[in-house]
Amino acid sequence: MEPAAGITERLVERLSCAARMTILTGAGVSHESGVPTFRGEDGLWGKYRAEELATWRAFEADPELVWRWYDYRRQLIADVNPNPAHLAIARLESACDSVVLVTQNVDGLHARAGSTAPVELHGNIWRARCTREQTTLHLPDNPLSEIPPLCPKCGSLLRPDVVWFGEPLPNDAYERADEAACSCDAMLVVGTSAMVRPAASLPLVAKHNGALVVEVNVGLTPISALIDATLVGKAGDVLPELVDRILEHTGGSKSPSSAEAAETTSR
């Protein structure tokens, strides 16, 4: 599909008529906040790539190195703010209760922008998990007072509560994300290279179930040819305009009339 030059009226109409919308975000949605992406030209966190250190094997071999890497990322993320893309998504969610936000990001910026229930497929860098009891806890100290941090209850090693490569996604998060992909009438895919599975399959699940799937990205991705449209541009530019146009179209709150909703599902 050729990248759409801009946001067409027809596209706004179709998105506005969606009875259920799912938004899937990746690292690109946080890029304009100053958070490095994973695979772009700045796709390095310090001198490490996620695939090198975001693994149980790397943690087992050197928990201190892995924790230093996560602490570096936490300090970087603590110093940045949500950008207009995060804020536009939160605005759309608060204007209509039929939007489900699913994110691959672990930075917590959607919640800081006001999103109330992001489905965090890959966990959250601000939480830790006891390697012995699997209990999770919020880890506010920034920077960490001790590295590697130990469980305050049993003294065992804590690990970041994120999903490492080779680890399964949290059942409840993936089930909610899969349900949101299967049942939506429209999916916005924002700032992901669509490389990491199983998250990358969600847009195709939505498409397969009849949804309108629109990507927002600064470039084309492996799914661009398989979905309905790619709005080529920065999320921080495209999303505020797109959300404004959708809310204008629906009179400020996205609760389509039954006729409109019927029109959408009959597509």
Q: Which residues are catalytic?
A: 122
Query: Minimal CA–CA distance to 162: which of 118, 102, 106?
Result: 106
Among 28, 82, 108, 118, binds ligand BV8 (CB under 6 A): 28
**Which residues are CB-contacts of 205 (< 8 A; sequence separation ≥ 6)?**
178, 181, 182
Q: Is 113 in the site for ligand BV8 (CB under 6 A)?
A: no
CA 190 – CA 230 distance, rounded (Å): 10
* Structure-token pair, residue 88: 């536009």
Q: Is 235 in the site for ligand BV8 (CB under 6 A)?
A: yes
Q: Please, which residue, 20 or 86, has the CB nearer to ligand BV8?
A: 86
C-alpha atoms less than 13 angstroms from C-alpha of 209 in its C-beta half-sphere = 18
Q: Is 165 in the site for ligand BV8 (CB under 6 A)?
A: yes
How many residues bind ligand BV8 (CB under 6 A)? The answer is: 37
**Shortest Å, Cβ 208 to ligand BV8:** 18
Q: Is 177 in the site for ligand BV8 (CB under 6 A)?
A: no
**Shortest Å, Cβ 161 to ligand BV8:** 10
Measured between its terminal Cα atoms, the distance across the chain in Å is 19
Tell me the helix, strand and coil percentages in the chain, rounded to 5.
40, 20, 45
**Shortest Å, Cβ 220 to ligand BV8:** 9
Q: Is 14 in the site for ligand BV8 (CB under 6 A)?
A: no
Q: Is 108 in the site for ligand BV8 (CB under 6 A)?
A: no
Q: How many C-beta neighbours within 10 Å does residue 81 have?
A: 11
Among 106, 177, 211, 232, binds ligand BV8 (CB under 6 A): 106
Helix (H, G, I), strand (E, B) or coil at 195: coil
Q: Is 217 in the site for ligand BV8 (CB under 6 A)?
A: yes
What is the pattern of x (binds ligand BV8, CB under 6 A) and - over residues 55-84? Answer: ------------------------------
What is the pattern of x (binds ligand BV8, CB under 6 A) and - over residues 178-207? Answer: -------------xxx-xxx----------
Q: How many C-beta neighbours within 10 Å does residue 80 have?
A: 15
Helix (H, G, I), strand (E, B) or coil at 224: helix
Beta strand 136-138 with 123-130 is: antiparallel
Among 110, 234, 245, 254, binds ligand BV8 (CB under 6 A): 234
Among 32, 71, 93, 120, binds ligand BV8 (CB under 6 A): 32
Query: Minimal CA–CA distance to 8: which of 220, 226, 212, 180?
Result: 212
The DSSP bridge partners found for residue 23 are 101, 188
Q: Is 162 in the site for ligand BV8 (CB under 6 A)?
A: yes
Residue type, 94: S
Q: Please, which residue, 21 or 66, has the CB nearer to ligand BV8?
A: 66
Measured on CA atoms in the order 185, 17, 104, 179, is the torsion positive or negative? Answer: negative
Residues making contact with ligand BV8 (CB under 6 A): 26-28, 31-32, 37-40, 43, 50-51, 54, 104-106, 122, 162-168, 191-193, 195-197, 216-219, 221, 234-235
